[in-house]
Amino acid sequence: MRCEVVAIGTELLLGQIIDTNSSWIGEKLALNGIDSLHQTKVGDNHERIVDSLRLALSRSEAVICCGGLGPTQDDITRAAIAEVMGVELEFHADIAAHIRHIFESRGRAMPENNLAQAEVPIGGRPIPDQPGTAPGLICPLGEKVIYAVPGVPYEMHQMMETAILPDLIERAGLKAVIKSRVLRTWGHSESRLAELLADRIDELDARGNPTLAFLASGIEGLKVRITAKGDDEAEVGRLIEAEEALVRELLGETIFGTDEQTMESVVLDTLRERGLTLAIAEITSGGIASVRFSALDPKGEVFRGSIVPVAGQSRADILGVSADTLGTPVAAKELAQAVRRVFDADIGLATTGQHDLGEGGAAGQTFLGIADADDVVVERVRLPGDRERVRQFSVISLLNALRLRL
């Protein structure tokens, strides 16, 4: 089963919007065992959309069009699909009523041009789940099919999950269950990870199920994805569990979490379980750790707060830390202890380094302080990249150091 993606919109070609939708759809298709061998962007031009759809249908059994379902003159996906199907558009009063209801629930009258969104190519059907004003469409052409979804990501995601993926899986006659689990790692380079897993990947390649894939996720480390296929959930679950155990043996404590977990969610969960609280003095990192923790812990049950003491005198005044140690291991130690005390937290963290002096450069070292009631340690790391990368790396390094100590 092959399914192409055609992303529609002149703004995509002009680079005004980055087409993240096709990537998202491509990942979902792959995870469900459906091949997507071509993905195309085309502008709001009737003839070119029609040509793109015909080309895609000549190569694949299914096409997902994304975008061009709005109420304006630029939104011509519906008409292009009708032309490819060789049919007219017909008005669906129930869709119109639904759109009118959306407007009325926001206290507004529906503009007349939104009625265009209620037109569906004859033979096609709207996707029942319609979170916005644009209905998604399922339009069969003989044994093949064109789907249309809005370009608004959350509307598209919902329609893909509830209607299009199930329809594709049924058409493909895919009886197998496919599931995957992502193991998130931090600490190894991609080549080191590849080396550690090379033998296992060779074994799996020969067998074909489950499979292992690497996904780089930049500053947040590398992901290892286990994907398994089987006749039912239980079988697939067993395959994934067994493979995860093997990979964990090979990679050890560089695995910090799975699936949707992040470094900060893992650290927060561990602290919460142990009834510990946290505070941070963010000099190098300038507030990045605070943003990440406060997003997950708004009431401050674990993350009691932070100080970003940029100017030297503020550091001295608020934290009682000597102003002349900036960027040294001594500062990391003093700051971690001071912020712990000031916020009355169990654990105090600090980032400081040679970059804070505004000089630094690529050779600069960063010092990460971790203080608790009994002890304070300073980790020394040499972080790559420009100042922004050093800031980001200092946070993930600090959180990882704390995780390993916990």
Nearer to its own copies by Cβ, of 237 and 287: the residue is 287
Short-list 225, 146, 144, CA closest to 184: 225
27 near its own copies (CB under 8 A): yes
Of the candidates 75, 83, 297, 379, which one interacts with its own copies according to CB under 8 A?
A: 297
316 near its own copies (CB under 8 A): no
Considering only residues 345 to 384 of the shown chain, the ones binding its own copies according to CB under 8 A are 355-356, 358
Contacting range for its own copies; rule: CB under 8 A; set: 86-94, 128-136, 157-165, 292-300: 292-300
Distances (CA, A) of 184 to 211, 263, 384: 16, 9, 21
Contacting range for its own copies; rule: CB under 8 A; set: 24-32, 60-68, 126-134, 241-249: 24-32
Nearer to its own copies by Cβ, of 30 and 381: the residue is 30
Residues 6+ apart with CB under 8 A from 201: 212
CB of 16 to its own copies, least distance (A): 5
219 near its own copies (CB under 8 A): no
Short-list 138, 181, 130, 137, CA closest to 154: 130
Of the candidates 102, 246, 250, 291, which one interacts with its own copies according to CB under 8 A?
A: 291
Contacting range for its own copies; rule: CB under 8 A; set: 88-96, 171-179, 232-240, 290-298: 290-298
Residues 58 and 147: their CA atoms lie apart, in Å, by 15
Lay out the sheet containing 347-353: strands in order across.
Answer: 278-282, 347-353, 365-371, 376-382
CB-count exposure of residue 173 (10 Å: 0-12, 13-18, 19+):
exposed
Question: Strand, helix or coil at 207?
Answer: helix
Q: Are 139 and 146 in contact (CB under 8 A)?
A: yes
Of the candidates 8, 9, 19, 347, which one interacts with its own copies according to CB under 8 A?
A: 19
215 near its own copies (CB under 8 A): yes
Q: How many residues sit close enough to its own copies to count as binding (CB under 8 A)?
A: 73
Of the candidates 42, 64, 160, 349, which one interacts with its own copies according to CB under 8 A?
A: 42
Sign of torsion over alpha carbons 35, 41, 44, 46: negative
Nearer to its own copies by Cβ, of 36 and 158: the residue is 36
